[in-house]
Structure 1
Amino acid sequence: MDLIDKIKDLAARIPKQLEHIQTEEATKNAFIMPFINALGYDIFNPMEVIPEFTADIGTKKGEKVDYAIKKDDDIIILIECKWCGADLHHDHASQLYRYFSATEARFAILTNGVAYEFYSDIDEPNKMDSKPFFTFDMLSFQDHQVSELKKFTKSAFSLEDILTTASTLKYTSAIKKILEKELADPSEAFVRFFASQIFDGRLTKTVIEQFTDIVKEARKQFINERINERIKSALSANDAQEEEEKQLSQEEPLAQEESNGIVTTEEEIEGYYVVKAILRESVDLSRVIMRDTKSYCGILLDDNNRKPICRLHFNRAQKYLGVMSEKQEEKIPIELIDDIYKYSEQIKATILEYDQDASA
């Protein structure tokens, strides 16, 4: 299972469990330890994930950080945990700040099991920054943020690679917050920036007030126009795809019927396109090939019989979807073609398995 699937699985559990988590220890067990495990670190191996790590600070002995993660015998990440109902704030970060300066770790995470704040020493060497360079919210994240999170996994961790992008992430995030605030409630300086470029008169208080409303209206129109453009673009692409699929659905059954008495039905073609839709973001779709037989319609990776993605058993009243589990087929009864979407994760996992075998 890829990282994004693991994170989505963990995120789906959180809303159901939040009200039952009343302590920091429960937060660790329910949310934080599974998160560390999702990153590929063995939470049961004390040589890899050290709970209650002692970080002595000068004359103050016995200071402990909740977790320290090791790789190649080096401490790479410190993790300070709080109860899931607690808001992360400066006081919590200052506690982690003390631990950071006492170890060789270049990264520290402050978390309540829902939000994860990632810190480093971008501004001043060996001194933890006052603000995180990356924040990951389990209940509100985008795919590109998972790509950044992936850099902290055991298999991908590279100090140099993360530090190279950390400063960009930090300042990009800060600028986005400023833009979000200004677009929601434009400050006088923000309004003046635009007004000074298009208004020739003196920028009096009355003029600024007028331009504040104009800036808000311009912002609303700009965002709506961009959204409409994206919608039109998506609809145009969808129309083109539907036309292509329509042409193929008209051509392919005829071609198949002429060969060995095999007839590819409309339902099999529809099922084939559902599988391609599922895999659209996982693999180059030119590698996903349909090959029909008398007993079932096979969907293969790279047109290779040894790489079946799934099988469509649609020749009887009861339809079955054949999904591959450890290269063995499991036949699942389905009622509708769209039911194939319910098994998207298994279908994606099969692709991942074949690609991992190829790279091994």
Structure 2
Amino acid sequence: MNPFRYERVQNIDEALRAAGQGGRFIAGGTNLLDLMKENVERPARLVDINRLGLDQVEPLPDGGLRIGALVRNADLASHPWILERYPLLGCALMAGASPQLRNMATTGGNLMQRTRCYYFYDTATRCNKRTPGSGCGAVGGCTRIHAILGASEHCIAVHPSDMCVAMAALGATVNVAGPEGRRSIPFQEFHRLPGDTPQYDNTLREGELITSVDLPAQGFASRYSYLKIRDRLSYAFALVSVAAALRLEDDGSIAEACVALGGVAHKPWRLPEAERMLTGETPSVRSFTRFADALLEGATGQGDNEFKIELACRATVRALTQAANGTPQSQVDKRIA
């Protein structure tokens, strides 16, 4: 690990000034410190933001909820308002990492997670995300965990977060502060596809700091499911995950559907135009399969990960069926219901 300077700040203005001097924000450090140990990230200065007071969960005037960027994953997963109004998010949080990591990891840090691609972490291999222009070692390499959607010739890595998949399905908004002021970013616009600039994971501008995440009033508290398919049932990243939420009419037909996939792309994968196909439909394996086919249109395997296409289709149908039946996947007994 390279030497670095550590600075603890007391307010957002101090944090932004420090970041402008080549600093990187750190809170729980559950990803950034790993990257520093592996020599992937080499910041000259770490700016500790734990004293900024961004650790509250607060109601919004429109009925939604504001989650401070420093709220720990464990605290958020067990918060009464999340359990009652946004259980999909709570389930996704409980599906991620380990209890020890959830006790340290923050909402903002979860948004900023970098890929767990083997080639990104191994500095002896080629990686356009780590060293732009060097090539992608994953293309033609070991691809079991890699993308089937939205990839490019320059990068086939996937975003690793569980929390972000649920937030994408719920239609969250990310609030940030920066040298040019404050702004809000719709969740679907926060993370990027790799294109020809895979070194950029998100649409944050230089020196910007995540301050909070807003959830809309509709939390789909009755019909939801977070289904995570992985190589083992504990402490493993998703091969495919599905956050599914439904709102049904009195006659049982679908009034609204929101679905996001994880483990399949450089960002949580959601297609609102495909979701509209389900409006007015009766919940069934047939209608859910048609939707899954539309959601996965254009999916392409890279050798070892070709199985993910069928897996993602089946997982989507299963998660939507669970949501429609009001029987969400348990994050305690992880056997698929």
Regarding TM over 0.5, the answer is no
Which TM-score band applies after superposition, normalised by the shorter structure? under 0.3
Higher helix residue share? 1
Higher Cα radius of gyration: 1
Which one scores higher on RCO, CA 8 angstroms, separation ≥ 6? 2
Q: TM-score, with normalisation over the residues of structure 2?
A: 0.22
Q: TM-score, with normalisation over the residues of structure 1?
A: 0.21
